[in-house]
Copies of this chain bind each other. A is one copy, B any other.
Amino acid sequence: MATEGNVMELGLIGLGRMGGNMRERLRRAGHTVVGYDRNPDVSDVGSLKELVERLSAPRAVWVMVPVGDPTRATVQELADLLDEGDVVVDGGNSRFTDDQKHADILAAQGVGYVDCGVSGGIWGLEVGYGLMAGGSKQDVERLMPIFDTLRPEGPREEGFVHAGGVGAGHYAKMVHNGIEYGLMQAYGEGYELLAASGIVDDIHGTLKAWSRGTVVRSWLLDLLVRALEQDPSLAEIEGYVEDSGEGRWTVEEAIRNSVPAPVITAALFARFESRQDDSPAMKAVAALRNQFGGHAVKAAGPTSGAGDTRS
C-alpha cells in the first residue's frame, strides 16, 4: 500500500454505476486505482489475480459487487490471493450479519477487513459519498486517504464516520436506508395529497418553495423538485418501486430489538403493494363484504362488476 502524501494504491472490484464513478473520483485525486470488472470493456485487468499482482504490498482492495453470493465469492477468492497485512473493504450493501463471516475468512489469512456503507448514488462522483466504516482502528486508519477522497469536501466528520467494529458500517448504512424509505414515502404521500385535493394549483412550485427556509428542506426534496421539472405530473413513471434489501433488514432488526418502526415499515409495505397487480388480502376482504352484506364485488378480469348496490 504505497502512499505518498495523501495518495495511495487501491484495487477496486466491481466497476458498475457506483464502482466506476468511485474509480474516477479517486483517480482525479491522484490515487492509483487498479479496477477489475467481469466486463472487460471497463476492467483494467483480466482477473483478480492480476489485480492483486499489480498492487504493492501491503495492499488495499475495495469490493463493490452485488451483495450475497457475489460478495462472498469475491471475499473468498481474495482470501486466497492476498497476503498477511493486506486489507479488504466491502463497500457494497451487504447485510451486516455477513461482515463478521467475511472478516473471519480474511483474518485466517492475516488479511484485515473493513465494511463501509456508501451513500450518494450517481451524484457521488461530483459531490462525494457519505461513508460509514466498521472495523479495527488500524484497518480504518490506513484507508483514510481513500475515505478522505471519496467523502464530500468539508469537515471529515460530516461525511465519514468510523461507526464501530466489524459490521457497524453496514449497520449504519442499513439504518440510513431504512430512514431513506420513510423520508421518501413521507414526501410521496404529501405529493399525492396535494395532487388529489385540487386546492393547490402549483404543486411543483409549492415543492420548490420548500427548498429554502422550511422545516422539510432536504436533498430528497430537491430531487423531487428536479423530477417534477422533467415530468410535471410524473406521467411517464409507473408507481412501481423495487426494494433492495436494506429496508427489509431494517424492519427485521427493529423486530429483533423490539423497536417500534411503524413509519419505516409502512414505507416498505407500500413498495410491496406497488408491485402487486392484485392483492390477495383485498380479495379476501372483498369476499367477506360480499358474504355478509351482499356487497357487489368487482369481478376479476376484463369484465368488471357493478358498484356497491347495498341500499
Contact = CB atoms under 8 A, between A and B. Distances in A.
Interface string A138-155: 000000000000011010
B215 A119 contact: yes
Contact of A287 (B19, B237, B262, B271): B237
A57 interface: no
B239 A288 contact: no
A160 interface: yes
Contact of A244 (B130, B180, B291, B308): B308
A266 B268 contact: no
A285 B188 CA distance: 6
Interface in A145-200: 151-152, 154, 157-165, 167-168, 171-172, 175-197, 199-200
A131 interface: yes
B178 A190 contact: yes
Specify which of A151, A200, A275, A308 lies most central, judged by the most chain B CB atoms within 10 Å of its CB.
A200
A116 to B, nearest CB: 11
Size bin of chain A's contact surface = 35 or more
Given A119-B210, A188-B281, A163 B200 contact: yes
A128 B212 contact: yes
Contacts of A269: 260-262, 265
Specify which of A192, A196, A250 lies most central, judged by the most chain B CB atoms within 10 Å of its CB.
A192
A129 B263 contact: no
A227 B189 contact: no
Contacts of A189: 178-179, 182, 254, 259-264, 281
Given A190-B179, A209-B131, A219-B215, A18 B286 contact: no
